Amino acid sequence: MRLIDLNRTRDIGSSCLFAEIGSFNILFDCGTSPKCTGYSSLPDFKKLGAAAIDLILISHCHLDHVGSVPYLIRKQQQARILISQASHIVLPRILNNSVTVMKLQRDEHGIKEYPFYTATDIEAMEQHILPMQFGKSRTLRKDGDEIVITFFEAGHVLGASSILVEHKHRKIFYTGDVLFRDQKTLRGAKWPSCKVDTIITETTRGTTVRKEECSPSSETERLVTTIRNTIDSGGSVLIPAFAFGRMQEILKIINSARKEKKLQANTPIFCSGLGYGLVDDFDMAAKKLSAVDFRRKIAKELNIKIFRGNNPKDIKKQTKEPSIFVLSSGMLVENTSAYNVASALIDDHRNAICFVGFCDDSTPGGELQKCSQGDSFLFKAQNYVAKIFAKMYKFDMSGHADREEILKKVIGMSPRAIVLVHGEEDARNWFMDELIEVAPKVQIWDMNPGEEFTI
Ligand SMILES: [Zn+2]
Ligand SMILES: [Zn+2]
């Protein structure tokens, strides 16, 4: 098997791993980097040379895994896209939202290559899709060669999949982003019990040590208590969250807490447009596939309002009374609704910002987390310097499995080779060091951008 990592950086960038397996040219995921804009946010497709891609295997619909699919399909018309049934439901909305964001960025920052694709491209992409039912294999043939693909539930987010590829006697397993524990809205990962030859594994939480007192359920309780205390003291709460997955999870937590009278009943709740739109898709995935435990009635019970905060006057108006804002982006990327609300709430000591997911160090969310009370913070996109008086909290509610758990599960599949992807430098190093220690006979491959490996 020949492998090339098309992600341009050794971190959570644009996930895209090229694999030549027998006669098949395969891409594991095809994302865009959340930290970059313009061409540099795309995978380095030049490294494909003249290779015609046969299959794009999509693990899930976060943009770092799926954001460049329509762009590539326009150039690789023969490619087929394998994606879980539940991911297929949310895919068009997520990509169309990405078109809207790219158009805004083109107009605001003059990024003339945006949008990389249009609604028409997203529609055209539909003909390339082969939806996959979890646990049900699909055999594909090319030039007398044959490959068998099976998708397994990966937890993490609605539709997320770990993918088994079988070619001749060889088994290759791609973890995608994975979470083994159950969430409020979603079952945990269900991996097959077979042995495999090669595992390609995510390493996101390689540097994160879970503190003993921070079990997922105690973190949920702590979040609810923080919201209640903040509202009680006349402040507002901002929870920056990925619109897809995390936002619905948080809404369900709030709804359950209200029913148990752990939260005030009438506090206004604001959500961003994409997160709210996805409620319909979740409802459909629940009805049709029983893929998720989230129904439209949760949004109704919470009486959610859509946040429309494009100009400072609107933002001021909507942040006047104590409210709960569950807004994207999770990393407070510039000009997003979460970023705008953070800038409006940050200078009042009664308010709170609750981070519930991963924030890259270089994003505004990551930078803000390094600050203390009383520090000044520059909201670059608004050219506005604010004093930080709002309280900031971090909750370990990650959608990724703890590193020790991934290590154990990966070794449990008795692989001969393990390929490390999708993690920061230090995170990969942790996995590398541990694996050398506990599985000395296994070959470990730490992918370098653009470099070719033969396994
Ligand atoms: Zn993800
Ligand atoms: Zn990811």
DSSP string, 189-255: -----S--SEEEEE-TTTTPPPPTT--HHHHHHHHHHHHHHHHHTT--EEEE--TTTHHHHHHHHHH
CA of 58 to the centre of ligand 2 (A): 11
Q: What is the pLDDT of residue 130?
A: 98
Could you tell me how many helices (H) and strands (E) the chain has, helices first? 13, 22
417 Cα–ligand 2 center, Å: 22
Q: Can you state the angle between helices 216-232 and 246-259, rounded to 10 degrees?
A: 70
Superfamily name and number for 2-208+399-454: Ribonuclease Z/Hydroxyacylglutathione hydrolase-like (3.60.15.10)
Find the 37 Cα to ligand 2 centroid distance in Å.
17
Q: Determine the distance separating the centroid of ligand 1 and the alpha carbon of 379, expressed in angstroms.
A: 26
28: CA distance to ligand 1 center in Å? 14
Please, what CATH class does the domain formed by 216-394 belong to?
Answer: alpha beta
- By CB neighbour count within 10 A (0-12 exposed, 13-18 middle, 19+ buried), where does 412 fall? exposed
H or E element at residue 438 = helix 425-438
Q: Where are the domains of the chain?
A: 2-208+399-454, 216-394
CA 111 to ligand 1 center in whole angstroms: 26
The neighbouring-strand residues paired with 5 are 17, 449
Tokens standing for residue 213: 């007192």
pLDDT at position 84, please?
A: 98
Helix (H, G, I), strand (E, B) or coil at 115: coil
Alpha carbon of 54 to ligand 1 centroid (Å)? 24
Measured between alpha carbons, how far is residue 412 from residues 137, 169, 363, 438 in Å?
22, 19, 36, 12
Q: What is the pLDDT of residue 308?
A: 84
Q: 176 C-alpha vs ligand 1 centroid, how far in Å? A: 8
Residue pointed to by tokens 């994409």: 274
Counting ligands in written order, the one closest to the CA of 11 is: 2
| DSSP for residue 381 | G
Residue 19, pLDDT score: 98
Residue 309 pLDDT:
72
Cα 311 vs. chain centroid, distance in angstroms?
28
Three-state DSSP state, 24: strand
CA of 446 to the centre of ligand 1 (A): 20
Separation of 53 CA from ligand 2 center, angstroms? 22
How far is residue 64's CA from residue 77's CA, in Å, rounded to a whole number? 22
Could you tell me the distance, in angstroms and rounded to a whole number, from the CA of residue 187 to the centre of ligand 2? Answer: 18
Which ligand has the minimum distance to the alpha carbon of residue 398?
1
Q: Using an 8 Å Cβ cutoff, are 190 and 153 in contact?
A: yes
| Cα(241) to centroid(ligand 1), Å | 12
Residue 360 CB neighbour total at 10 angstroms: 18
CA of 392 to the centre of ligand 1 (A): 24
Give percent of the chain with pLDDT exceeding 90.
89
> Which portions of the chain are predicted below pLDDT 50?
none
3-state DSSP assignment of residue 375:
coil
* Distance in Å, CA 157 to ligand 1 centroid: 7
65 CA to centre of ligand 2 in angstroms: 6
Q: Any idea of the CA torsion for 445, 449, 452, 455, to the nearest 10 degrees?
A: 20
Q: Which of 165, 160, 140 is nearest to 150 (CA)?
A: 165
3-class secondary structure, 434: helix
Nearest ligand (C-alpha, residue 34): 2
- CA dihedral sign, ordered 15, 152, 170, 197: positive
- What distance in angstroms lies between residue 386's CA and the mean position of ligand 2's atoms? 31
Ligand 2 center–CA 60 separation, angstroms: 8
Q: Residue 60 C-alpha to ligand 1 middle, in angstroms?
A: 7
DSSP code at position 208: P
Backbone angles phi, psi at 81, to 5 degrees: -110, 120
pLDDT value, residue 42: 98
The backbone torsions φ and ψ at residue 38, rounded to the nearest 5 degrees and listed phi first, read 65, -160
Return the pLDDT at 204.
Answer: 93
Between the CA of 432 and the centroid of ligand 2 the distance, in Å, is 19
Contacts of 51 (CB under 8 A, 6+ apart): 18, 20, 25
**94 Cα–ligand 1 center, Å:** 13
Residue found under tokens 């948080």: 250
Q: pTM surpassing 0.75?
A: yes
From ligand 2's centre to the CA of 358, what distance in Å?
Answer: 10
CA–CA gap between residue 310 and residue 413 (Å, rounded): 49
Which residues pair with residue 151 across a beta bridge? 163
Q: What is the Å distance from ligand 2's center to 63 Cα?
A: 8
